[in-house]
Amino acid sequence: MIQTDAIIVGAGPVGLFAVFELGLLGLRTHVIDVLDKPGGQCAEFYPEKPIYDIPGLPACTGQELTDNLMRQIRPFEPVFHFGTCAQRLEELPGSRWRLTTDDGLVFEAPAIVVAAGGGSFTPKKPPIPGIERFEGHGVDYAVRRIEALRGQRVVISGGGDSALDWTIALRDVASRVTLVHRRTEFRAAPDSVRRMMALAEQGQIDFLLGEVNSVQADGSELCGIGVRTEGGLVDLPCDRFLPFFGLTMKMGPVGEFGLALQGGRIVVDTEKFESSRRGVFAIGDINHYPGKLKLILSGFHEAALMAQQAFRYARPEERLLFQYTTTSTRLKEKLETT
């Protein structure tokens, strides 16, 4: 069980900036995200598109904003837990909360910050009959532990960044990697496509043009997949099948946290951005209040006000001092390590 000052659900831009605002007040944070990387929508939906409305940054891409936020919060040493979904929230005596994730991590803190954006990203599943029988043992929609794939015959399907990046990354881990895609055009970054093609030419991976249409079993174990190609049906023996067909967003488990909702968003006040339950805050795209604008800069402002109240819960004995980063010697020393 992990004890901390504040648990942040969501490592999107707003969750990341919450680390900064809480850190300025001396609060320690753990950040949970169901994805395997930070950045939320910025990193997942538009990593290479420029954003023009971040104050003081005339233009930066979704990935650059994420990278800068990660650099900015480094001095506060947040602890990240990627690839795990915040599942259950329970109130404990003494104004504390317990949060449990889908893979059994347990956290306790006086402040919970829900920065879950449009909700948890969930994989789009391919319409292959019987695929659900192998989910979690043979078929996975994300790579949670690379070591679990060591020495395995892996088939990856898809044409986006995840499919290409994992094809390239797993070639040294898996005994064989085959990428299956139904077209010769890819949504992935052109550089990744070039690298994948080069690896295929060198015989380090296999690339098959076609569409996966069946999963094959040996008893209860996955033993291969069937691919419809121009030349007919091809059977590909494999131990692991990783379909990467993109993600959709659903509110997911935070909708079951027992917080007042409106239109699928968490209702908050605009003084502290606290939900209907004391000590549970909601900031960024996930919250609702009159006049809400789903913009990154709104989430940043919400994080600053949330942190003030979270401090009062985490440090009830201490006085909250308002300090500028420009004039506080303590903060300057900390932040100059960035």
| Shortest Å distance, C-beta 103 to ligand FAD | 11
The residue within the footprint of ligand FAD, chosen from 19, 42, 199, 222 (CB under 6 A), is 42
CB 82 within 8 A of CB 10: no
- Counts of helices then strands in the chain (DSSP H, E): 7, 23
Q: Beta partners for 216?
A: 224
CA distance 318 to 192: 51
Directed axis angle between helix 161-170 and helix 190-201, to 10°?
Answer: 40
What's the closest the beta carbon of residue 250 comes to ligand FAD, in angstroms?
9
Q: Please say which residue, 163 or 303, places its beta carbon nearer to ligand FAD.
A: 303
Which candidate, 108, 66, 104, places its Cα nearest to that of 85?
A: 104
37 Cβ neighbours under 8 A, 6+ residues apart: 11, 43, 82
Per CB under 6 A, 47 contacts ligand FAD: no
| Pair 242, 154: CB distance under 8 Å | yes
CA atoms within 13 A on the CB side of 128: 25
**Which CB atom, from 210 or from 284, has the smaller least distance to ligand FAD?**
284
Q: What are the beta bridge partners of residue 237?
A: 224
Binding mask 50-69 for ligand FAD (x = CB under 6 A): -x-x----------------
- Closer residue to ligand FAD (CB): 59 or 234: 59
Q: Is 11 in the site for ligand FAD (CB under 6 A)?
A: yes
Tell me how far, at minimum, the Cβ of 9 lies from ligand FAD, in Å: 5
Residue 78 interacts with ligand FAD (CB under 6 A): yes or no? no
Binding span for ligand FAD by CB under 6 A among 35-43, 200-208, 219-227, 228-236? 35-43
Token reading at 316: 């009830």
Here's the x/- map for ligand FAD, 260-299, by CB under 6 A: it reads as ------------------------xx--------xxxx-x
Q: How many CA atoms lie within 13 A of 157 on its CB side?
A: 28
Choices 33-41, 91-99, 151-159, 185-193 (CB under 6 A): range interacting with ligand FAD: 33-41
Interaction between residue 115 and ligand FAD (CB under 6 A): yes
User: Which residues, including other chains, have CB under 8 Å from residue 197's CB and lie 6 or more apart?
Assistant: 207
Does position 13 bind ligand FAD by CB under 6 A?
yes
Structure tokens at 162: 């995840």
Using the rule CB under 6 A, is 85 a contact of ligand FAD?
Answer: yes
Residue 10 or 210: the one with the smaller Cβ distance to ligand FAD is 10
Q: Which residues bind ligand FAD (CB under 6 A)?
A: 9-15, 32-35, 40-42, 45-46, 51, 53, 85-86, 115-121, 252-254, 284-285, 294-297, 299
